[in-house]
Chains A and B, each alone.
Chain A
Amino acid sequence: MPGWSDERLLDAAQRNEPGAFDAFVERYGRRLLAFGVRMCGHREDAEDVFQETLLKAYQGLANLRDPGAVRTWLFRVAANQCLMKRRAENKGAGRPLSLDSLKPPGWEDGRLPEIADWSDLPEEGAARAELRQGLEQALFELPADHKVVVILRDVEGLTTEETARALGVRVPTVKMRLHRARLALRERLGRFHASQAPAARPEAEA
């Protein structure tokens, strides 16, 4: 079954063929669990969300008609579970991100100081893994409605349109939240980078 197309896999799962559900879980499960971990931040919550997602997915597969939409639909189920859990815990979407708060000082009047350029990332290895870890932490601290967009779009690689469908929001809303989330993450990563390299010149905009 590993080589099966989504269409074939969906058909097998809908017919309850032996092993179809396992194959389905093998294909998508790890990404769904990782999504839950990033959204929830706590392993126990993520496990609950993942479990619920698998159960809902299994029950909902019978009604899914478009094999090309399987991945988007699964993330929709997972995102709903995460957001429902947040609502149940009364956490809400979190503080909204305003573009003004993300602009470097001086941007508004066209007088921006020199900005540290750390885009030349370290080669794959411990330093790069540490950067990713810093980014994961920054991701966790984003407001939930921005975090879910940037995870689906940039971490999981859905298109903007798929992300909008998965979340039941409009494309411009996805684009706006994605942009703000990226700017916030860039800022945090810049600070992280500066803290990891004390000899380097500090980020001018910080």
Chain B
Amino acid sequence: MSGPGPGPGGDRREGKAFAALSREERVALCREVMESLSDLVEGTAPPDLCERVERLLEDCQPYRAYRDTLGATIRLLGECGEAGLPGPREETFRRCVERARRELARGREEGP
């Protein structure tokens, strides 16, 4: 997603297909990608957008790095869920449940 650099091949960071786009087309594509990146990472973006982005940005280092680090962030978020409670541990859970159970028992005794 970087502009054309020196030489006919453009900047080494970008793909040739991207370098061949006009400035307006590059800007429009970057904006579209930025707004759709979650869908692109999750594979829920419209097929024509996926195909176009892959074709134009296949060799674009900034795009690939941004996309892949976003994917890594989402993977880590899922791991946070699997890792369990942040901070408080089992005894906190048990204490809260006991409190709730006592509250419920009191409510039942007192009636509606």
Contacts and interface: CB of A to CB of B under 8 A. Distances in A.
Contacts of A114: 2, 13, 61-62, 65
Contact of A33 (B37, B38, B76, B85): B85
6 contacts: A43-B92, A50-B96, A107-B30, A121-B75, A179-B37, A182-B77
A68 B101 CA distance: 25
Given A107-B34, A186-B73, A117 B100 contact: no
B22 to A, nearest CB: 10
Contacts of A22: 97
A186 B84 CA distance: 21
Interface in A121-141: 121, 128-129, 131-132, 135-136, 139
B73 A54 contact: no
A115 B65 contact: yes
A103 interface: yes
Give the size category of B's interface with A: 35 or more
A182 B35 CA distance: 12
B100 A109 contact: no
Interface in A4-34: 21-22, 25, 29-31, 33-34
Contacts of B88: 33, 37, 43, 46-47
Interface SS of B by simple majority: helix
Interface of A: 21-22, 25, 29-31, 33-34, 37-38, 43, 46-47, 50-51, 54-55, 58, 99, 103-104, 106-119, 121, 128-129, 131-132, 135-136, 139, 150, 154-157, 175, 178-179, 182-183, 185-186, 189-190
Contact of B66 (A104, A132, A139): A104
Contacts of B3: 109-111
Nearest to B72: A119
Given A47-B96, A112-B1, A117-B64, A182 B80 contact: no
Nearest to B21: A110
Contacts of A136: 80, 86
B68 interface: yes
Output the residue of A30, A108, A119, A128 with the most chain B CB within 10 A.
A119
A34 B75 CA distance: 18
A182 B70 contact: yes
Contact of B62 (A29, A115, A182): A115
Nearest to A25: B97
Contacts of B103: 51, 55
Interface in B56-100: 61-66, 68-81, 83-88, 92-93, 95-97, 99-100
